Structure 1
Amino acid sequence: MKLTVNRLLAFSLLLVATLHCSFAHAGEGAFGWIYTLDLQPKGKLEFEQRLQLNKQQASGSYNAWLSRTELEYGLSNDLQIAGYLNSYYVNANQNYTNPEACGDAPTCTGGQPVPESHNPATPYRKSGIEGGSLEAIYRITNPVTSPVGVGLYLEPTLGRNKNEIEARLLLQSNFIDDRLIVAGNVVVANEQLKFVGNGNVPESMLDFLVGASYRFAPKWSAGVEARFHNDYSSYNLQNQVQKATFVGPNMHYAAKDWWITGAWRYQLKGNTCMGDGTAECSNARVWDSHSVNEFIVKVGFPLN
């Protein structure tokens, strides 16, 4: 069955509604994209649904939706594992304006996961099940009992459009009786992009994610988070092709038996492309799979 954005939304809402009857007590994920060290306790299982939209490139229209359906389980109080089912929907049309990318045409359709074999003069629309991911987080020190919480994260992904192995260093400090959370992730990933007829393309990434969230009311938190992004055209952080900065707010609500988080990241101007990646920049921003705006909504609740 073909997935559309409406079906992605309906599927996400159906999962939440179906499992809501078993809510008992909620954990919290106060940030949109930053992982924290608030793990599931030993023996606890949590369901989480994420829906992300990357919207608007240099011109035309670009809407890339990614749905991630996750189950988290606490193997111990300091070791959490998880599994994801990933699906996607992309609708792009004349979303590139860089002359090098478009040749003689004034505009063309591109961006990931649009294949190079696609006719750039026509719109591109595709959806489906992307693949699956596994995740493990090990907490070395707890930010509740230590000045700085430290953890390690590993996530392999197998997908239709790309394979990836991602590692993170997780850092977190809590202040003001745990009402203020300051967190950061150092993200390193090797990626294998898949293009029909063009083989697999190696890439790698280095990201620095930082943010803060403050609980200003018993159930409400708000804050800000930023992404300092670096893309490379080879494995192991070789041959840098992009550098970009994203900043935006987040909002979090936690009830007794569920929580929801929304966040927005805006790509600032002044970003650069270099080397083989110069065709992926215009208007002082970076493109390929990136956009001007990134939105994410996450819902979570325990199952036991």
Structure 2
Amino acid sequence: MKLRAKLGALLFGGCLPFSAMSGEGVFGWLYTLDLQPKGAIELEQKIDYTTGHATGSYNLWKSKTGIEYGLTNDIQVTGYLDAYSVNAKQNYHQCDDISPCTAGFGVPGSANGLNSYSKTAVNGGSAEVIWRITNPVTSPVGVGLYFEPSIGSLSESFEMRLLLQSNFLDDRLILAANFIAETEKFKFDPAETIYESSFDIRYGASYRFAPNWSAGVEGRFHNDFEGSWYGKQIQRANFIGPNLHYGGKDWWFTAAWLYQLGGQCWAPGDAECSNGRVWDSHGNNQFMFKVGMPLQ
């Protein structure tokens, strides 16, 4: 009887979903609707690394240090301090007479022709608001809205997202998609202020394959347009790669990688493509490292 009771308990326990902390970021760049509950506070650190260009070398590190707060059970707010470090060699911003043109983010036109360029600084700050309209735990499809204004010395932007998420297999499997509209103002070149807008689709799947561990894949379909209000399209690119997530009782960690499959450019930004890839603010590889820790 005792043996049967133990076996029954094990079988029943195996049917239960693995536990997870609220607000865990199981994806690298893709947002889900797993939010902080009302009154909960979490410290989050993101490190975003882009590398690999058509010519020379280019390494861009972006850091976002933030505090997440559950304003209600369905509204989460986050404030970030944004910093960056860029190191480039023979990497150009002014591309009129240069082929291939690489146009690395953060590299000013004054660095054109120089052997190398390097700078590390605080860029500014940003804020996120996520409103969960329906919960994927209790509804077939979770729906939410996301807003993020950012201001800094290098750039200013306003980003909006429609968040979709569905959970399967007792919440072990997460399917998610973000539809993203963003306007940007780039200021890293004192001689030229650049206005762009973009529409992206980010998508992915994550599966909890063991207690506290998840793995999956995520992708990005990127579209860039001239001007702040979606003028002529100047870029299109596709990225895809794996992610790995650990969620413990007191902290969680996510690592993700995106590889550029290829892209296309059109005038007046056609010089920013070569070898079938897009180089304007992008690279061959992009990595994300995220850590979260509840503060109460």
TM-score with structure 1 setting the length:
0.87
Q: Is 1:41 paired with 2:37?
A: yes
Which residue matches 2:243?
A: 250
- Structure 2 vs 1, CA of residues 106 and 276 (structure 1 numbering), >3 Å: closer, same or farther? closer
Which sections of structure 2, spanning at least 5 residues, go unmatched?
A: 1-20
Q: Is the 8 A contact 2:197 2:229 kept in 1?
A: yes
The equivalent position to 2:201 in structure 1, one of 208, 214, 223, is 208
Query: Higher Cα Rg: structure 1 or 2?
Result: 2
Q: 2:78 aligns with which of 70, 76, 82?
A: 82
- For residues 153 and 243 of structure 1, the distance between their equivalents in structure 2, rounded to whole angstroms, comes to 23
Instruction: Please list, as runs of the form range in 1=range in 2, the aligned pairs for 1:1-304 lying within 5 A after superposition.
Output: 27-95=23-91, 101=95, 103=97, 110-269=103-262, 271-304=263-296
2:269 alignment partner, SS class:
helix
Q: Which amino acid aligns with 2:83?
A: S
Q: Is the 8 A contact 2:103 2:272 kept in 1?
A: no
Q: Distance in 2 between matches of 1:241 and 1:102?
A: 16
Alpha-carbon deviation of 1:59?
2.3
- How far off is 1:117 after superposition? 2.4
Shift of residue 125, structure 1, vs aligned partner: 0.7
Q: Secondary structure at the match of 1:84?
A: strand
AA in 1 matched with 2:247: A
Shift of 1:235: 1.2
Distance (whole Å) between structure 2 residues aligned to residue 170 and residue 112 of structure 1: 27
Q: CA deviation at 1:127?
A: 1.1
Q: 1:72-99 CA deviation, whole Å, 9 max, x = no partner?
A: 0001000011100000000011246x9x
State the superposition RMSD in angstroms.
1.8
For residue 108 of structure 1, report the CA deviation from its aligned partner: 7.5
Which residue does the alignment assign to 1:10?
none
Which amino acid in 2 is paired with 1:287? Answer: W
State the percentage of identical aligned residues: 56
Give every structure 1 segment of 4 or more consecutive aligned residues whose post-TM-superposition deviation is greater than 3 Å: 105-110
Q: Deviations over 1:254-297 (max 9, x none)?
A: 1111100000000003x100021111111100012100000010
Residue identity opposite 1:281 in structure 2 = C
Whole-Å separation in 1 of the counterparts to 2:102 and 2:164: 39
**Count of residue pairs brought into register by the alignment:** 276
Aligned to 2:12: none
Residues of 1 paired with 2:102 and 2:174: CA distance? 41
